[in-house]
Structure 1
């Protein structure tokens, strides 16, 4: 822990991490089948209202679904953070989570393309969203022998980031942090025929404006640009939470045809939107996606 006198010390971040780490530690004592739904309940009933997530969910829904009935909005105010909470504690559950992901059905028209790419040593860019549990597909593919690495954005809270990265590293390596050093290692990995997992559905300040749910949404072109530059397949994949709240159905869809980065990225947005509409409460409506 940084000392209070050190330039990097942030008391607010330290306290936030203290509370979250205590919550995670307490939950990890419980059996998996109790731990996951309980963390979902805590996020939905306690954390979401305090953190402002409930207001953000309501605002996003008002933008995209202005005619949504109030009863459905209230359902979303509980179900969305419940899925977020489940996702958080699953990532910290290590081998128990990996076992769930490994047991999940893995299917879709892109699976054969992945197998062909692995045999040929061709790189793949796997793209998902903050939907279901976005790390379950990575865990499932690694468990089946696919060389999947992950690109991640370090947390603003450095204290939380340290154990967060350790948790997602346990799910599978290699991991690459956004930034110059991480990008250099990531490119080497791709050139060697690796498969890179990217979560690409957040607002990016300097990205071009595309469309998502019919609204202008700044969207990074990086996944498509990597696919074009390194002749990699661009493959959407999602791990959709099942009604029991603990298991997943993992879809590996057909590769997006190469064209231009903008056209390919819009196709990814459209693809994600289609699946979110089928499981509306599993997308992270807590994000500031539209600005």
Structure 2
């Protein structure tokens, strides 16, 4: 989509958000790494989030699926969620400096050994996460060990900002594939050859299965389980969990998902992410419209600014 194809109101909203984000990124990149990350988190939380209407979206999602949260915790999350999103954004744009921070981290969890074994056997591997912590920390760290780690991304809703965002995510590891018929075909060819793919599976997919997430129906894509069963691939839930200092991470690789049915495997991934989010709710992107009400499987038009990353 090009800007000229957008309704005027949406075009103006996206352009203003783009200007704010781009100014923040340029300012932050001129600063030492230890300053730029917290500063960007603060600016996105205090400037971009209100402009884009994110606090309202966060409160709406929390009210729908976690209604017993204390008002003070809801208020904290309306600040913490954009702060983490801002930190993640500038870390991705920081390229080599971000990867240098990850180099000394020892990945943990049974999935790390499972990844090594699958790689030695030449089996395709899917590393699955959500918009939680810094999801690109996983892709960056695994690429240090094994070279290429592919990424599938959904172009950002903000068509202005998307132009340089794709170049930024390619710094972490290549190749990157856009979601769509051609991108999926290229990704399948890459994966079938025994390579590693990193993917995010926590966004609403209106043609997906009616699985559960936080006790509510969340339409979920089953493409990863279906491909894994077809290719005999290993599926490993994994998370880059931000630590209290705001700059460092734990890189946790859980047990591989047992092969069963696509629905059971998809629910396993939803349950894994839900457990992580319940432990660290400020690190998940509550901005997404994860629980959309659908009448007759028709999706209502979403005209609000949004930030998405990889699929």
Deviation at 1:69, TM superposition (A): 1.1
Alignment partner, residue 75 of structure 2: 74
Match of 1:270 in 2: 271
User: Aligned-pair RMSD on alpha carbons?
Assistant: 1.9
CA apart distance, 1:50: 1.9
Aligned to 1:53: 54
Indicate the residue corresponding to 2:257 in structure 1: 256
Deviations 1:50-89 (A, max 9, x none): 2111011111111222121111111111111110110111
Residue 309 of structure 2 is matched in structure 1 by none
Structure-2 separation of matches of 1:101 and 1:198 = 19
CA distance in 2, matches of 1:80, 1:104: 24
Give ranges in structure 2 of 5+ residues lacking alignment.
293-311
Q: How does 1:35-114 map to 2 (within 5 A)?
A: 35-114=36-115
> Separation in 2 of the partners of 1:21 and 1:72?
30
Residues 129 and 201 in structure 1, CA contact (< 8 A), matched pair in contact too: yes
The answer as to whether partners of 2:17 and 2:48 remain within 8 angstroms in 1 is no
- Which residue of 2 is the match for residue 182 of structure 1? 183
How far does residue 39 in structure 1 lie from its aligned partner after superposition?
Answer: 0.8
2:236 match: secondary structure = strand
8 Å CA contact retained: 2:152, 2:198 = yes
Hey, what does 1:166 align to over in structure 2?
Answer: 167
Indicate yes or no: 2:282 matched with 1:281: yes
1:22, CA displacement in angstroms?
2.3
SS at structure 2 position matched to 1:106: coil
Instruction: Give the 3 Å change call, closer, same or farther, for CA 72–135 of structure 1 in structure 2.
Output: same
Distance in 1 separating the partners of 2:83 and 2:106: 23
Q: 2:18 corresponds to which residue? A: 17
How many residue pairs were aligned?
288
Deviation at 1:98, TM superposition (A): 1.0
- Where do 1:112-151 residues align within 5 Å? 112-145=113-146, 147-151=148-152
Q: CA–CA distance in 2 between the matches of 1:117 and 1:147? A: 15
CA distance in 2, matches of 1:44, 1:133: 16
Could you say which residue in structure 1 is the equivalent of 2:297? none
Per-residue deviation, 1:102: 2.1
TM (norm. structure 2) is 0.88
Gaps of 5+ in 1: none
* Rounded Cα–Cα distance in structure 2 between residues aligned with 1:156 and 1:57: 18
1:245 aligns with 2:246: yes
Cα drift, residue 158 of structure 1: 3.4
- In structure 2, relative to structure 1, the CA distance for the partners of 1:97 and 1:256 (3 Å cut) is same
Superposed CA deviations along residues 196-246 of structure 1, whole A, max 9, x for unmatched, are: 111010111221211001111111111111101111011101000000000
Structure 2 distance, partners of 1:8, 1:49, is: 22
Secondary structure (helix, strand or coil) at the match of 2:73 reads helix
Task: Name the TM-score, length of structure 1 as normaliser.
Answer: 0.94
Equivalents in 2 of 1:277, 1:41: separation in Å?
Answer: 23
Q: Distance in 2 between matches of 1:24 and 1:169?
A: 17
SS in 1 for 2:94: coil
Aligned residue in 1 for 2:298 = none
